[in-house]
Amino acid sequence: MGPRQMSMLATFIKPMHREGYRFVGIFAAVTAVLFLIAEPLGWIGVGLTVWCYYFFRDPDRMTPVREGLVVSPADGVVQMIEAAVPPAELGLGADPLTRVSVFMNVFNCHVNRAPVAGQVEKIAYRPGKFFNASLDKASVDNERNGLTIRMEDGRRIGVVQIAGLVARRIVCEVNEGVHLMTGQRFGMIRFGSRLDVYLPAGVAPLAAVGMTTVAGETVIADLASTEPERRGAVR
């Protein structure tokens, strides 16, 4: 197989997060049973098994590494950018901070990545409800897991994994005290959800509502920039 064929294959075949092995196995087993019942049902099972694998894909990303850049922690669409008081358990204070919310649907890659480099100062899980993650109240009422990351300059950023209407498991793969690099994997959420990023005071977002983001690659803010908040326009 030549380099071109290998490149084309790599476009479609991605590494899979370990959380997916069990689910793909279950889907494959059910598919085998469906083939025994009726071949058309079996092919439907094949399609669902491929989707399950695709959901748990975990591709490598090329992260920009200039100091001060804040990257998206999730694949998806920037749904909201607004001032909001961060969850109390993050210890970021009671004053509103700019919150950038990225919504992931069931076709997005669900592996979450650190928006900045720094030490994980706090991890706080909070049980809750399972409203549609696209609703504003999901930030307050839904099950969530938050990380507070302290950067070298002492400033802190909050990133919150929020379960959605379908999501029923938040996975956090790091512990308090560890040092994360920008774009490093730290967890995932199964089957549709949302990530909130709380920027430090005075930092304007460079993302715009409606923008598609790639986890670990898309820059959503620059801590070293004085550029005003960006606005998006449909073209």
The catalytic site residues sit at 193
Count CB neighbours of 128 within 10 A. 14
β-bridge pairing 144-150 and 156-163? antiparallel
Stretch (H or E) spanning 3: helix 3-12
Cβ neighbours for 91, distance < 8 A, ≥ 6 positions apart? 121, 122, 148
Q: What is the CA radius of gyration of the chain?
A: 19
- Angle subtended at Cα 195 by Cα 20 and Cα 17, rounded to the nearest 5 degrees: 15
